[in-house]
Amino acid sequence: MTAHHPLRILHCFRSPVGGIFRHVRDLAEEHAKAGHQVGILCDSTTGGDYEDALFESVMPHLALGLTRLPIRRSLGLSDFTSALKSFGEVKNLQPDVLHGHGAKGGAFVRLIGSRLRVSRSCVARFYSPHGGSLHYDEKTLRGQSYFAIERFLERWTDSLVFVSDYERRTYEAKIGTPRTAWRLIHNGLRSHEFDPVVTLPDAVDFLYIGMMRDLKGPDVFIEALRRAEQLAGRPLRAVMVGDGDDKPRYKARIEAIGMGSRVTLRDAMPAREAFALARAVVIPSRAESMPYIVLEAVAAGKPVISTRVGGIPEILGPDFAGFVPPDDSEALAGAMAKATNEPEWLSGAMPDMADFREKFSAQTMADRMSALYREHLSGSTQDSAEPRASSLS
């Protein structure tokens, strides 16, 4: 395969919600612009109207089309049926590259890709954990089981792709030093996303945006907002944007503590539309890998308060003044109150925009990814016996 030959790239992941879907959309768009043919295979049972609209937006870039079939979140017998169906779909597409995202997508890609290689297909197999099974506790039986599966699947992986050094370190601590090649390639944003977002005249004080599940900390945000009112000495307003099974529980809690008139819950919407609704963005997550929402907020010129988890320090800097510990509503309340009473404090703490833009570009991300694909396709007819580790961050 020549250096300029277009690639046939198929991305596989489970849920078309959140950062993984965003990551794949960006890669698909940039690689399609570069002349490659791209497709997506993902779950058909998750997502709503918002995700359907996102699929519509990315379809012009999917020369290999969109394939959706039921893929459950937890391991089960249905996975065998899904894998069999996936194999037929993938074989017909004749991809050069299979890139799995998240635990389920990674398992499908490596199993299907390895089966194709038995048939002398020269497909290359890549896996980006994106947190995934790495969120599990290594002290639990479930965590140990998932980590054992991850270790086993390494032998059928041409390269791991980490989106943050935190993710790489977590993989090494829980699963072990990779015995296959790996590469560090940070997420990136498209050029228009670096345009500042103008805050609306009637904007509220704080925005939570993300999945409505405890892992992302909406419950901590609610309790911290109530305490921040006491510390700031005045009522505060907030908007919470996102979808998820736990959303009714959060709404009930807001009503129970008497904040229903000051906290608005909205369905998922484009991040830049949500940013205009508030003066500052709060990221109260208990765990993250390399969250797009932090990248997007910084690029849009929004002040950010965040827990110091995952790869977020790689975005905001290790000494960022707006960091708070995870699962600590009192500390978060203190930062929110300070941002309320001292508006310039948080704005002055944000990263330098010129350096930030150079580091987190979608085009740079896509170029490094396609270079990685070609590197392994040049020897894809046989498995590499020696792992190769490198970093392009």
- Helix (H) or strand (E) run with residue 207 in it: strand 204-209
136 pLDDT above the threshold of 90: no
pLDDT tens digits, one per residue of 162-178: 999 999 999 999 999 99
pLDDT tens digits, one per residue of 227-240: 999 999 999 999 99
**How many Cβ atoms from other residues are within 10 Å of residue 313's Cβ?**
17
79 pLDDT above the threshold of 80: no
386 pLDDT above the threshold of 50: no
State percent of the chain over pLDDT 70.
93
**Cβ pair 225, 240 in contact under 8 A:** no
pLDDT at residue 58, rounded to an integer: 95
382 pLDDT above the threshold of 60: no
pLDDT at residue 288, rounded to an integer: 85
pLDDT at residue 133, rounded to an integer: 84
Confidence band of 219 (pLDDT split at 50, 70, 90): very high
Nearest to 305 by CA among 245, 228, 374, 382: 228
Out of 42-46, 92-96, 278-282, 385-389, give the one with best mean pLDDT.
278-282
pLDDT at residue 392, rounded to an integer: 47
pLDDT tens digits, one per residue of 89-109: 888 899 999 999 998 899 889
pLDDT at residue 64, rounded to an integer: 97
pLDDT at residue 303, rounded to an integer: 97
pLDDT (average), residues 211-231: 97
Question: Is the whole-model pTM more than 0.85?
Answer: no
pLDDT tens digits, one per residue of 56-75: 999 999 999 999 887 777 66
Phi, psi of 70 (to 5 degrees): -65, 125
**Distance of alpha carbon 263 from alpha carbon 251, whole angstroms:** 9
Phi, psi of 203 (to 5 degrees): -65, 150
Looking at every residue in the chain, the average pLDDT score rounds to 90
**Structural domain spans, the chain:** 8-188+361-391, 192-356
**Distance of alpha carbon 380 from alpha carbon 101, whole angstroms:** 20
pLDDT tens digits, one per residue of 303-353: 999 999 989 999 999 999 999 999 999 999 999 999 999 989 999 999 999
85 pLDDT above the threshold of 90: no
The CATH class, in words, for 8-188+361-391 is: alpha beta
Residue 384 or residue 367, greater confidence:
367
Residue 71 or residue 195, greater confidence:
195
pLDDT tens digits, one per residue of 243-296: 998 999 999 999 999 999 999 999 999 999 999 999 999 999 998 878 889 999
Torsion of CA 312, 314, 316, 321, to 10 degrees: 80
Confidence band of 49 (pLDDT split at 50, 70, 90): confident
- The CATH H-level (homologous superfamily) assignment of domain 192-356 is Glycogen Phosphorylase B; (3.40.50.2000)
**Cβ pair 67, 40 in contact under 8 A:** yes
The three-point CA angle 159-165-170 to 5° equals 85
Nearest to 332 by CA among 232, 203, 187: 232
Q: DSSP 3-state assignment of 72?
A: coil
pLDDT at residue 378, rounded to an integer: 85
Is 35 buried (19+), middle (13-18) or exposed (0-12) by CB count in 10 A? Answer: exposed
On the question of a common fold for 8-188+361-391 and 192-356, the answer reads yes
